[in-house]
Chains A and B, each alone.
Chain A
Amino acid sequence: MTTTFESLKSGDSIEGPKFAVSRESIRLFCDASLDYNPLHLDDDYMKGNFGKTNFGGIIMHGMSNFGLISRMMTDWAYPRGAVHRRLETRWVKPVRPGDTIQPSGIVKSKQATANSRWVLIDVLVRNQVGEQVAAGEAMVEFPVR
C-alpha cells in the first residue's frame, strides 16, 4: 500500500490501461454482457440515421467505457484497502473499431463522514487522438479500520 487516505491530494492522478477496440472486442462484449443491440453488430443498420445522428458504422457499447473505468477504480482501490462505491458516467463521443481508448482519473476532493472516509475522483476516457469519449465521477470509500 503506497497511498493512504491522509496522503491523497486533490490533483493526484490515476491511469488505467489502454484498450484496443476492434470488431472482435465489441463482439466479445456482446457475448459477455448479452447486449446484442444491432448498434454494435450490424453495419447495414448503422448506415441509417438515428434522429439527427448518423454513426456511419458499428460503435462500441457505451458500457465498455463504464467497465474500463470501473476496472481502473477497483484496481486502484483494492491495494489501498479501499472500496469502489459509485460510478457515474456519460458518453460524449462514439468509439469505433480501430480506436484505442484509455481511462484516467484525477482526485477532486476527499471527505470524512460520521462513520467513514470518501474520495471523489473525476474520471474520463480518451481515444488515441486525445478526444474525450466518456466523462464522469467516481466515489471510493476508505473505511476506518
Chain B
Amino acid sequence: MAQPDAFETDFWKHANLRKVWDDIVPGEPRKTIPYTLTKDAIELYCASVGEDHPLYFDEDYARASLYGGLIAPPSIHILLMFACTPADDWMRSPGTVNAGQSWSYHIPVRPNDVITLEARALDKFIKRERLFVVHDNVFFNQHGAVICSGRGWTIRPA
C-alpha cells in the first residue's frame, strides 16, 4: 500500500527508468497501484488549496448532509494521480509541463476508500516544436464504482 511516507520525493532518482516521448505508446496502459486515502491526506490537500467546507472536516455536519458522511473535495484526483502511480511513471519526469486537464465527477471519494486507477496515454503529437502526450484516467473506489474520469495534456521534456 503506497502511503506518503514511502513516497520518493526526488523525481530525478528514477528519471532514467521513465519513458520519454519517443517510447510512449498511445493506448498502452500505465502501471498503477491501489492507494488508501486517509482523512489526514484529505486535510493536507484541503489546506494546500484553502478548502474549508465542513463536508471535508466536520463528521456531524457531513453525516446530516446529503452526502451522509465525510467526503473529499472532487479535485482530490490531483493527489490520487501521483499516489496511484509508481516512481517510474512518466508523469513524474522532471520538466513535465501540464498544459490543461478536463475531469468529470461521478461520486465523491470518502476517507479510507481504497482507490484504483486505470490510466494510459491516449495520444501523442508535436505542435509548435513541442512534444505533447494526452493521458486519460479513470479512478474507482473499492466497490468498483467510478469516482471520476479525466484527460490531461502534458508537454514532455525534450
| A residues lining the B interface (CB < 8 Å) | 17, 19, 25, 28-39, 45, 50-52, 61-64, 66-68, 70-71, 74-75, 78, 81, 83-91, 136
Contact = CB atoms under 8 A, between A and B. Distances in A.
Contact of A89 (B10, B73, B100, B130): B100
B45 A33 contact: yes
Interface residues of B, number: 44
A66 B75 contact: yes
B97 to A, nearest CB: 7
B125 interface: no
Interface of B: 4, 7, 9-12, 41, 44-45, 47-51, 53, 55, 66, 73-75, 78-79, 81-83, 92, 94-105, 129-130, 153, 155, 157-158
Given A37-B92, A86-B104, A86-B105, A67 B75 contact: yes
Contacts of A51: 129-130, 155, 158
B105 A38 contact: no
Given A70-B73, A74-B74, A88-B101, A32 B11 contact: no
